[in-house]
Amino acid sequence: MNLFVKILVTIGSAVSIGFGGWHFIVPKAWNWYSYIDARATELIAAVRAINAFFSLSLVLFGIVNILFVYGDKSNRYSIIVMLTATCILWITRVAFQVIYPQGSLYPGLQYGMLSAFVIVTLCYLISLLSVLFQKIPV
């Protein structure tokens, strides 16, 4: 794996891991459950489960991408599959930020979030394209 791909995947993965880790504490930090009727216990449980799953997924995708691009047991196919899945996830996040922006409570936050999401997406997308179009020694 070339150094350029390793650097881009490391940047994208570090942000993914950080964002996933941060999301574990978001519900408490932003007092999410105060917006939900306390009697809606199943809704609260569902939001908690979805957030935990989302957070853990981001952390695991970040870790697995790093392990694949730095591992000597990885092959080109596994790296392409993992980067494709990660690109689809981040492209979806960018689309949601454009269509249903979050962070509009504070001026500039929604654009900062969009910028961060685009940068992470580009790190993974450029890496994927680089791996797809690299010359394979015969």
- What residue segments make up the domains of the chain, in order of their start? 3-132
Q: Look at residue 137 in the predicted model and tell me its pLDDT.
A: 64
Average pLDDT in the chain: 94
What is the residue-wise DSSP string for 26-79? HHHHTTGGGGS-TT-HHHHHHHHHHHHHHHHHHHHHHHHHHHHHH-SS--HHHH
pLDDT at residue 13 is higher than 80? yes
**Residues 68-88: what's their mean pLDDT?**
96
pLDDT at residue 136 is higher than 80? no
Chain segment 84-101, per-residue pLDDT in tens: 999 999 999 999 999 999
Evaluated on CA atoms 69, 74, 76, 80, the torsion sign reads negative
Q: Which of 118, 97, 134 is nearest to 11 (CA)?
A: 118
Chain segment 111-122, per-residue pLDDT in tens: 999 999 999 999
Share of the chain above pLDDT 70, in %: 99
Q: What is the pTM of this model?
A: 0.90
Least confident of 9-18, 48-57, 97-106: 97-106
Rounded Cα distance between 50 and 69, Å, is 28
Contacts of 49 (CB under 8 A, 6+ apart): none
pLDDT at residue 58 is higher than 80? yes
Least confident of 40-54, 64-78, 124-138: 124-138
